[in-house]
Amino acid sequence: MSRYVYAFGAGKADGTAQMKQVLGGKGANLAEMTNLGIPVPPGFTISAELCNTYIAKGTYPAELKGEVAGALKRVEELMGRKFGAATRPLLVSVRSGAAVSMPGMMDTILNLGMNDAVAAALAKETGNPQFAYDAYRRFVQMYGDVVLGLKGSRSPFEPLLDAKKKARKVERDIDLPAEDMQALVGEYKAALKKLLPSGFPEDPQAQLWGAIEAVWRSWMGDRAVAYRRIHRVPENLGTAVTVMSMVFGNFGEDSGTGVAFTRDPSTGERRFFGEFLVNAQGEDVVAGIRTPEAVAVMERRFPAAYRQLVDTYQRLETHYKDMQDLEFTVEKGKLFLLQTRNGKRTGAAAVRVAVEMVDEGLISEQEAVNRVSPDALDQLLHPMVDPKAKATVLATGLPASPGAAAGQVVFEAKEAFAWAKEGKAVVLVRAETSPEDIEGMAAAKGILTARGGMTSHAAVVARGMGKCCVVGAKAVEVDEHAGLFSVNGRQVKRGDWITLDGSTGRVIDGRVPLVQPTMSGHFEKFMKWADKFRRLKVRTNADTPTDAKRAREFGAEGIGLTRTEHMFFDASRIAAMREMIVARDLAGRKKALAKLLPMQRGDFEGIFTAMDGLPVTIRLLDPPLHEFLPHEREEVEALAKTMGITPDALAAVVESLREANPMLGHRGCRLGITYPEITEMQAQAIFEAAVNVAAKGVKVIPEVMVPLVAAVPELKHQADIVRRVAAEVFARAKREVPYLVGTMIELPRAALTADEIAEVAEFFSYGTNDLTQTTFGLSRDDAGRFLPAYVEQGLLPADPFQILDQRGVGKLVKLGIELGRGKRKDLKVGICGEHGGEPSSVAFCHTVGMNYVSCSPFRVPIARLAAAQAALAEKGVEDRTAATV
């Protein structure tokens, strides 16, 4: 018989921390804390398995009601209270919790079990009617918003609350007297009745089951679905439901609530970090409703509870061997832990915590390397505000998530998403964010809120995304309806530029220059560990000496792709390229190519010098020639004038090069076969550059790559030209350099005939961008219109241009490697598509035995770490990746 309900509390629990798939992270950790003897309010957790059942069928097993009733009775006995009773009533919270932490993405209901009789009983029992009716009105509002679906524009509650505060001339909810709180309950219920004929349910059992089902439904809510898509959380995990007896931080001045981290989640510094509110419930801290105080203030207000909290956090961090994120409540001076989990943190904090925990003897170097998500390193490589730049500071808030971002101001999440889709850089400005803003937050470069603290929704979500974020900028007055915010009389309107400094909390007027970060200290130490464990080499895609130098600073071990065509798009060179294209005969083309030769040679000299001692793979000209020519009539006429030909003659050339499907047309090696003089010029530039820098003592390792080969005769044709030109250059220079000739495997036929191709090719580099296109029969330029719908509907697990399709494209890659090495045992194999910097794709490249991956310079550290984690996984080292994104 299946079991669905697991109890915890009072020193005994049915679960452990290892049961996250069943109990969710929250339920599993509550059970673990119970087993450790930490004070946790009694409760029970309903298995996450039932969420999927409910979502699929709209129902749940009949026996669940009996199990819940039995678990609830246990809680009643432990608390000495009765659920729904008019004397000593029991109130509970109903919370979500998946195996993977999704902060704020699903729903929670507090103070459940309230009705008129219960509120009156609590008021009498506590002698504090203000507390009783504050809890009651909170519950009615939360139940209406979450369970009855009135959240957002349909919610009638805030205007009623604001009217009461305005009438009393108070700012805080808790300053309203008991009679106003009681009156609000009636007004809330009346507003509910107008919107929903069924109104508010008075029966606590109906409330309980309504809340349980609402938590299940929230798994498929828009914000939860968007979060899972952004963070690649599996859809089938489901959420557990935790029902826990209420403890109250809003009893009065001897009570409070807080959120804390065992280390600073922004920097990783080893200090107790958090926020606390006296006479408040947890939602007041997390939602940013009131601006909290530092958790250290608690030591003065509640010294005994604070000492117990410090002892508890130290025990939990030592037990879990990771930074913990705690939620706690003090009720009449007594401490209760409501949650612990591995804390979300910035990339910088993730690295520092991992390194320092090794130094402290808590974890091994291998565990440290596994603990940091590769994507988290991306945050360390983001820009910062140029310290030399002149900055007009509009306001200063809390530095919630480091880095810097400049963008145009928008005030709505939907607008942020839409503007970003148009290619605009935006900063989302809100009074406070809510979970509904998730897609806009993901689209924005940075996030600014006027309210909230370091553990508010905006702060936690931004840190998880690696977004620059400033919260609690009190001087900022946001008027979303007018599309502006004001700071001391200065207005910033929708579309105006601002810059956020997430490391200092500054909000800066206008667009301020940003500078790139450098790697040192903890980062260098951490990356040395990663390099020690990985087998896979990491190269970079670089087309300029500047890119090559930067990538080398980031740890690149060579260049896996230099795109020679990018060199021709420079304004000073495009004219010679166009002259070559429109030439009517071989002599004309060679005359134009002679102008391009010194330019290419100079480029290669710079790149070879920057990569002294490391291999450099240079791809011969790849794109179709029409890409270098204008297509609008005005542009054609202007170019024709500079080239000394008629507009009609140039237009005829452009038209002759037009193709129905240029990505499958006259490009790659096909250009070199049709116009071998192009291949000759590029080979000459490569080898002349090589011998020139070699003469200066630079160690040069060129690798010439022929693109878009489908059949071995194509490769042989081009390789023969390259090798002939190399011999000619070496003879003239009286100097030789070692080199390789290879090809990109980017067509299915090339992968299927890789054994034949390996007879000529000395290396393979998988161009998985084109290989994905040609395997799926997709145009990556057009597929963006419908691929998101495929992913949302579950037709594809991910966009195959972002994450390598291992089941299809991956099979071709694996087969090509096996065939190629079957013919040439020392065949060097790498990947140079965008997948070369994507962690799961890097792991695949390790598994199939590639020699290296190649990616953009800023992805190099990410690929280095992903390669190390792949090697450790192969050795069976436990993966304890922390809550970083």
Which helix (H) or strand (E) is 648 found in, with range? Answer: helix 647-657
The pLDDT score that the predictor gives to residue 882 is: 45
Q: Is 468 an annotated catalytic residue?
A: no
DSSP string, 50-80: HHHHHHHHS---THHHHHHHHHHHHHHHHHT
pLDDT digits (tens, 9 = 90+) for 221-274: 888 887 887 777 888 899 999 999 999 888 888 999 999 999 998 889 999 999
Residue 576 in 3-state DSSP? Answer: helix
- Report how far apart the first and last C-alpha atoms of the chain are (Å, whole number): 38
Of 577 and 358, more confident: 358
Nearest alpha-carbon partner for 191 in 145, 237, 230, 229: 145
Distance (Å, rounded) from C-alpha 642 to C-alpha 648? 14
Residue 511 in 3-state DSSP? Answer: coil
Q: What region, left, alpha or beta, does residue 620 occupy, with left being phi > 0 and alpha being psi -120 to 50 degrees?
A: beta
Asked if 8 and 38 touch (Cβ cutoff 8 Å), the reply is no
pLDDT value at 880 more than 60: no
Distance (Å, rounded) from C-alpha 476 to C-alpha 479? 10
pLDDT digits (tens, 9 = 90+) for 254-265: 999 999 999 998
How, if at all, do strands 497-501 and 490-493 pair?
A: unpaired
Burial per residue of 557-578, b for 16 or more beta-carbon CB atoms within 10 angstroms, e otherwise: bbbbbbbbbebbeeeebeebbb
Of 1 and 468, more confident: 468
Nearest alpha-carbon partner for 542 in 517, 529, 561: 561
Residues β-bridged to residue 427: 409, 446
Kindly report which listed range (84-98, 360-374, 660-674, 801-815) carries the lowest average pLDDT score. 660-674
Dig out the tokens for 501 from the structure: 């400094």
Q: How many CB atoms lie within 10 A of CB 793?
A: 8
Burial per residue of 765-782, b for 16 or more beta-carbon CB atoms within 10 angstroms, e otherwise: bbbbebbbbbbbeeebee
Distance (Å, rounded) from C-alpha 685 to C-alpha 696? 17
Mean pLDDT of 162-172: 89
pLDDT value at 578 more than 50: yes
* Confidence class for position 600, pLDDT limits 50, 70, 90: very high
* Confidence class for position 570, pLDDT limits 50, 70, 90: low
pLDDT value at 716 more than 90: yes
pLDDT over 90, % of the chain: 65
Kindly report which listed range (49-63, 228-242, 690-704, 734-748) carries the lowest average pLDDT score. 228-242
pTM for the model stands at 0.79
The pLDDT score that the predictor gives to residue 231 is: 76
Residues β-bridged to residue 502: none
pLDDT value at 868 more than 90: yes
Mean pLDDT of 716-739: 98
Distance (Å, rounded) from C-alpha 287 to C-alpha 272? 21
Distance (Å, rounded) from C-alpha 711 to C-alpha 713? 6
Distance (Å, rounded) from C-alpha 33 to C-alpha 40? 7
Of 401 and 80, more confident: 80
Q: Is 832 an annotated catalytic residue?
A: yes
The pLDDT score that the predictor gives to residue 289 is: 63
Which helix (H) or strand (E) is 223 found in, with range? Answer: helix 222-231
* Confidence class for position 215, pLDDT limits 50, 70, 90: very high
pLDDT digits (tens, 9 = 90+) for 797-819: 888 988 999 999 999 999 999 99
Q: How many CB atoms lie within 10 A of CB 794?
A: 9
* Confidence class for position 755, pLDDT limits 50, 70, 90: very high
Q: How many CB atoms lie within 10 A of CB 585?
A: 8
Q: Lay out the sheet containing 256-261: strands in order across.
A: 293-294, 273-278, 256-261, 324-331, 334-342
* Confidence class for position 209, pLDDT limits 50, 70, 90: very high
Single-letter amino acid, residue 628: F
Nearest alpha-carbon partner for 176 in 160, 192, 190, 189: 160
Mean pLDDT of 490-497: 96
Looking at 51, 468, 669, 832, which residue is catalytic?
A: 832
Kindly report which listed range (283-292, 349-358, 622-631, 819-828) carries the lowest average pLDDT score. 283-292
* Confidence class for position 65, pLDDT limits 50, 70, 90: very high
Kindly report which listed range (255-259, 346-350, 602-606) carries the lowest average pLDDT score. 346-350
Nearest alpha-carbon partner for 257 in 308, 296, 295, 310: 295
Give 630's Cβ-side CA count (13 Å radius). 19
Asked if 295 and 278 touch (Cβ cutoff 8 Å), the reply is no
Nearest alpha-carbon partner for 158 in 173, 136, 180, 176: 173
State the maximum Cα–Cα separation within the chain, in Å, rounded to a whole number: 103
Mean pLDDT of 829-834: 89
Distance (Å, rounded) from C-alpha 99 to C-alpha 48? 9
* Confidence class for position 644, pLDDT limits 50, 70, 90: confident
Torsion of CA 499, 502, 504, 506, to 10 degrees: 30
The pLDDT score that the predictor gives to residue 454 is: 67
**Cα 517–Cα 522–Cα 528 angle in degrees, nearest 5:** 100
Distance (Å, rounded) from C-alpha 776 to C-alpha 348? 38
pLDDT value at 537 more than 60: yes
Mean pLDDT of 343-354: 89
Distance (Å, rounded) from C-alpha 23 to C-alpha 3? 12
Distance (Å, rounded) from C-alpha 216 to C-alpha 874? 36
Asked if 40 and 245 touch (Cβ cutoff 8 Å), the reply is no
The pLDDT score that the predictor gives to residue 884 is: 41
* Confidence class for position 781, pLDDT limits 50, 70, 90: low
Looking at 457, 522, 835, 846, which residue is catalytic?
A: 457
Mean of the per-residue pLDDT values for the chain? 90
Residue with tokens 């694996």: 814
* Confidence class for position 885, pLDDT limits 50, 70, 90: very low
